[in-house]
Structure 1
Amino acid sequence: MSEHLVDARGHRCPVPSLRLRKAMEGLAPGVRITLLATDPMARIDVPYLMADLGGTVCDVKEQDGILTITVETGAVPTG
């Protein structure tokens, strides 16, 4: 299983969510992606993004000002 990592450290909102969304394009449901972000708004924005895309936030950790957010892709929305 390949690891998917999106490094958006140093970028302000909405860049972390946009990069995560781009990384999710074309991935099958159930794939896990880890987002690294320093913008605290990612803690709020990513769950909204996952709700829109049918995905799940699996884990959120913060250490030394770096958020590590693990998400799982959901079914690809239609329409």
Structure 2
Amino acid sequence: MTQSLDLRGLKCPLPTLKTRKALLTMTKGERLTILADDPMAAIDIPHFCNEAGHRLVEMTREGENRLCFVIEATGH
């Protein structure tokens, strides 16, 4: 199952905090797709995934400020 979050318009640290909150409700193997436009998200979300043990499946940049992340939850 895949869930989505549209975090465009939110500034650091909100994209990471909302990502963490969503992943807490997910089971192992579920995926979360995130849209963000805060440039810091390109640093913060991959770092969060590494620290929390979630797998960053994909990170793409569309245009100058649009980021898309796909994260696989590891469960909790």
TM over 0.5: yes
> What is the TM-score with the length of structure 2 in the denominator?
0.88
Structure 2 gaps of 5+ residues are none
What displacement does 1:55 show?
A: 0.4
SS in 1 for 2:61: strand
> What is the TM-score with the length of structure 1 in the denominator?
0.85
Q: How many residues align?
A: 75
Give CA deviations for 1:12-69 in whole Å, capped at 9, x if unaligned.
Answer: 1111111111111121111110111000111110111112221011111111321001
Structure 2 distance, partners of 1:35, 1:28, is 17
* CA-based RMSD: 1.2
In terms of Rg, which structure is larger?
1
Q: How does 1:1-79 map to 2 (within 5 A)?
A: 1=1, 3-64=2-63, 65-76=65-76
Structure 1 gaps of 5+ residues are none
Runs of 4+ in structure 1 displaced over 4 angstroms?
Answer: none
SS in 1 for 2:39: coil
Larger RCO: Structure 1 or Structure 2 (Cα < 8 Å, ≥ 6 residues apart)?
A: 2
AA in 2 matched with 1:67: L
What's the % identity of the aligned pairs?
A: 35
